[in-house]
């Protein structure tokens, strides 16, 4: 599936790739609409409609991922609300074996997430993800997301990775497309980012190599 002998650097997404995306989906689709309806004294359906409209307006932009932006837009304490359901934050069951194999192989492993620094901090606090990865990067430090070519340019300047020997793993096909346009040679899609949802069908993965369980590729990483 992947030529691991040619891969020296591994760039990893966080939500849906290393962490179960169920937390984020539940937060934005269920918890936030409920709290917004409560705060504004409107129906849940009205709240859900408003939040879908607002998120659609900034999809793929830094604002979509910015907790400060949503605190102001919704007038809600977003981080506090995340903590209300923090028990839903969890690693995928195959994440630690995957990260252990990567570390033992001697490859450089870097987390590159669009998540806001406050969200990243909360998730690190709950999962100790930082103990298994060489470097954690929130794209907010560049003020641009992985959907943008500018992010990849800036990231390459800082990390000095070689496109030909770099693997990027993400559950977003839009973001994988962006990495592909930049020229990153090795790409891997996650077909089952949310444990509560069915896996994406192969024919909908745009031809990207994909995984549903990292444990299936541990031997390839080590060989």
Model confidence at 223, in pLDDT bands (50, 70, 90)? confident
Residues 132 and 112 in one domain: yes
Last residue of a domain, one of 53, 70, 87: 87
Residues 113 and 157 in one domain: yes
Domain holding 186, by residue range, is 4-20+90-222
Looking at residue 1, its pLDDT comes to 81
pTM of the model: 0.96
Residues 140 and 77 in one domain: no
Residues 154 and 203 in one domain: yes
Q: What is the CATH number of the domain that holds 188?
A: 3.40.50.1000
pLDDT digits (tens, 9 = 90+) for 151-173: 999 999 999 999 999 999 999 99
- Show Cβ contacts of residue 30 under 8 Å, excluding neighbours closer than 6 positions: none
Above 90 in pLDDT, residue 220?
Answer: yes
Residues 82 and 109 in one domain: no
Residues 152 and 128 in one domain: yes
């Amino acid at each position: 599936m992947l030529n691991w002998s040619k891969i020296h650097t591994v760039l990893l997404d966080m939500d849906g790739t290393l962490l179960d995306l169920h937390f984020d989906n539940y937060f934005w689709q269920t918890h936030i609409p409920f709290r917004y309806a409560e705060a504004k004294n409107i129906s849940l359906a009205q709240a859900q409609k408003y939040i879908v409209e607002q998120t659609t307006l900034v999809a793929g932009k830094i604002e979509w991922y910015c907790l400060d932006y949503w605190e102001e837009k919704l007038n809600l304490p977003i981080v506090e609300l995340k903590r209300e359901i923090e028990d839903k934050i969890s690693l995928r069951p195959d994440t630690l074996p995957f990260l252990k194999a990567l570390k033992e192989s001697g490859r450089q492993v870097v987390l590159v997430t669009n998540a806001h620094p406050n969200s990243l901090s909360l998730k690190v606090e709950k999962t100790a993800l930082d103990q298994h990865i060489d470097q954690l990067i929130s794209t907010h430090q560049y003020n641009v997301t992985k959907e943008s070519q500018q992010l990849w340019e800036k990231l390459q300047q800082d990390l000095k990775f070689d496109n030909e020997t770099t693997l990027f793993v993400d559950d977003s096909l839009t973001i994988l497309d962006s990495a592909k346009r930049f020229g990153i040679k090795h790409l891997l899609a996650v077909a089952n980012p949310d444990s509560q949802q069915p896996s994406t069908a192969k024919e909908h993965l745009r031809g990207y190599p994909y995984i549903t369980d990292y444990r299936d590729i541990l031997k390839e990483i080590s060989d």
